[in-house]
Structure 1
Amino acid sequence: MLKIKKICSFIAVIFAVVCAFSQSGTAALTKRYLEKANVQFEAAQYDEAYKTINAVLKLNENTGIPANAALIATQIYSKLLDEVKEKKDYSRFIGITENLEKYPVVADSSIQQKVKAIYAMQEAELLAKKEAAQKAEREEQFKIYQSQLEQQQKSQTSFMDAMQKSQESVMSSIVELGENMSEASKSIAEASRKSEKSNHMVLVAVLIICVVLVLVFVVVILAIRAAAKANALQSMQFTETLKLVQGMTQQNSQLLLGNVTDLQGLAGPGLRSAGSSRWGVDALPAPEMSEEDKEELKVLAVKCEELGAKIDGVSRRKNNSKNVSELVYKLSIALGLNQNTSMVYFCAAMVYDAGFLSVPEDLLVASNLTDEQKDEIKKHVLNSGEYFDFVPKKYRQIFEDASESHHENEDGSGYPKGLKGEDIPQIAKLIHVVESYNSLISRRNYRQIKDKETAIAELLSKTNLYDETVVKALDSIV
């Protein structure tokens, strides 16, 4: 029993000596590796330093990683992450993140932020690739549809040509048959005169010819009907395919004018925007416009409609641009302005409040405003011009008049210039009346809704603010 105790004591002493020796050896090896890693790091040999510091981490993973080793490892890992981000070397990034999970003592806040940034960059690239693939797929589908459309056009053209040739051939055969019948009838008549005995044969021959003619006529009618049905089916398929392609490639360029669809002509360079006491008296017929001018006005209307939707969004007034522009158009026509002028006024009325896009959103939704904030909102009439780069130069003054002067009053009490009477542009007078009218008949959180008659009566009672002629014209169309 005593011998066993001595043996156990001896083994314990030997184990302690071995452990001490092992720890001493590990510490010495760790020190050499750290010195080597430092030298490599200072020489910008980051890959070699990464391998060396990983050896240090693995050597001490069971006994605890020294603080100086963790500090050096953090610096080396930080440099490697910078290189990964710069070169987008995501294969190296996988190994680095695995080691960071294995040795969390290395991952300080800076390392964590860099890892998150690289993950975000990977996701962004993946998303971009996915969007590019989807775009390529859509383009390929469009090419397929376009190819189908071209094939259908060619097929329809070939079919129509074949039908026309077939009809011409049938008609030629009928004419030739008629001529042959005429000759045959003459021969039969001549034979009948020579011999009365052949009357029966002549009658039979005539009957046979008539039957043949009837059969030919029936066949021609059936062929024409079959061709018409096939042509109708082909046209329907062609129209459906055309609608599909147009729906994928074209923007909707229709103007929301209700029953107003006439785009006959553009305003000339002498379009008048001020001096309104003679509404329509001096108006000239709209000049004939070129196809280029027609397209220019259509494009302008589409762009105004898009900008008007943005303005309605920030000002929280649903369909305001549409409602104002429609009434301005109808008022222009009612006051005797020509079609071209009315159409340009329609476009300008869609974007007259473009200056709201430059006003801070919190001011537009605030319920209680200071005097300074009210003055800030009033400045929107001077900030619209920066959004009119798409407007052709010949119409620019109309758009600027609409945006800058629609808060001017007849007695000069409006803003921003205090214009009065004849000095206020026509388009501004129209918008001022229409905007106030829409405000009166629409629900607001600060007033009760009014019916149309009451709203018109209120506008007529304020001739110091609104042009009476315009208000009376509005009364006649609402």
Structure 2
Amino acid sequence: MRKSKSFYLLFLIICILLVAPAAIMARDAVIQRAIDAAETELITREFDRAYSRIRIILRYYQEREIDDDARSIAERVVSAYTSELAEADDWQRLKEIEQELAGAPSSVIAQGAEYFDAARQKIAEAQAMEQIREEQEAILEQEMARLAELERQQKEGLERQRQLELQREQERQEYERQQELLRQEREKLDAEQRERIDRMMELNRSLEEERELTRRQETEQFYQRQVELENARAEQEKRFREQLELAMQSSMQSTEEILSTTTSFGYKMMIGLAVAGVIVIILVVIFVLMTVRQQRIQQQQFTSTIKTFQAMQMAQSDTLRAVLPFTPDGGGPAALPGNSNAALLTDQSGGAAGASDAEAMRRLVEQCRSYASEIDKITNRKNAAATVAELTYKISMAMGHEQPQAVLHYAAGLVYDIGFLNIDQALLQSKTITEDQFAILKTHTTIGMNMVFFVPEEYRDLFKDAVSKHHENIDGSGYPYGLKGNAIPYIARVIRVAESYVALVSRRDYRNIMDRDAAFEELYSHTNFYDKEIVTALDELV
């Protein structure tokens, strides 16, 4: 068995020794054919195929010294092929060839070194351009994404806006619905209040007629008593004079008789006594006459004051016609005092709008007069509201207010005490009241604010100021808000002065009625209550 294995091994070695030279010779023949083929392809300019054969040749000579023929063909093929690739701008292929020839002889590599450098530069430039392009694409993508996000946000914003508009529309509709409900409720309350006031007025009308009749009878009786007293005084004075004349005649006769019967001495004594008696009698007569004259002057002053107050209370519409720019009976505009051009409460251009405003103002004044009449009735004050309103108008005109504004002040002066219409009439007629009852009376200022519903909206704030603040004092001691100085609206300050003046000169207790000078002395002495400029203006008017 061992001999057999040795034989086989020897046979194998012999075969290898015989085949190896043949194999070497066959490989050299293949390389030579590759060189010949490369030569042919180089001539036919098939450089890529020639380069493929050169790679085979170079791999063959990678571990041995390359011969001159192989080097020469390799150099020429590399030179021609790289030149062709450079002309075709195939820089990537040149880079691959440079990498493939990394182990080739330097002379072969040198044939394409120029193109390899150019390929590296071009590839670097291309890579840089590619990087720039990629960056630009990235920026473009980011911008597109940003624009898409903006578009999405815009769409979301539009959707939110649409939702908000829809919500606002719903809220607006709900608000209008609530306003309509409030308006209906307000109209209902106004109607109920008007009905209540009408009922109160109707109930008061009959009572007021009876009281008016009673007041007239009392006034007539009062004047009748005054006439009777005056007649009695005149009769008494006449009798006194007759008795005085008789006494003087009797004295003179007695003196003459005495003079005729006395002696010279007695004559002188009697003359002296007679003269002294006559002097005494004359002094007594003078004293009596002065007393009677003083009583007559006082009576005339008292009667004059009563008549002045009566004339003020019983003033008719012709007085207002001389004061206001329209007639009280609704007969249309009239001229103001001292205005020869008959200035009217109409638009200066004479347009329909001005006439409409004048008509609306006339209606407002008529409404205020109607309420003023009811206020005076329930408070038992004859024409007090109209008198206060007239003074308010005159003061406003004197202080430089425009005529339409002064007319509004007149209208507000008519209803400044409208709150009394919601106060218990029994309380208003009470001669004495408690502190709690007075506190109730003071609420007429705040109650009245809700009773000027009939006044157009554009004038309502003025009327509310007149109704709620006409008891405020300059020093802040008034009510209901304790306002001071100019914080009190003008309309409230002027009504405060006018009302106080009317109250001073028309007190119900005739013994406490003040004449004009005494009333103004009272007003000037309380500058902490009243606006001094307004008091001065009133002083110059009346």
For the aligned pair, the TM-score class normalised by the smaller chain equals: 0.3 to 0.5
Higher relative contact order (CA 8 A, sep 6+): 1
**TM-score between the two structures when normalised by the length of structure 2:** 0.37
**TM-score between the two structures when normalised by the length of structure 1:** 0.41
The structure number with the bigger radius of gyration is 2
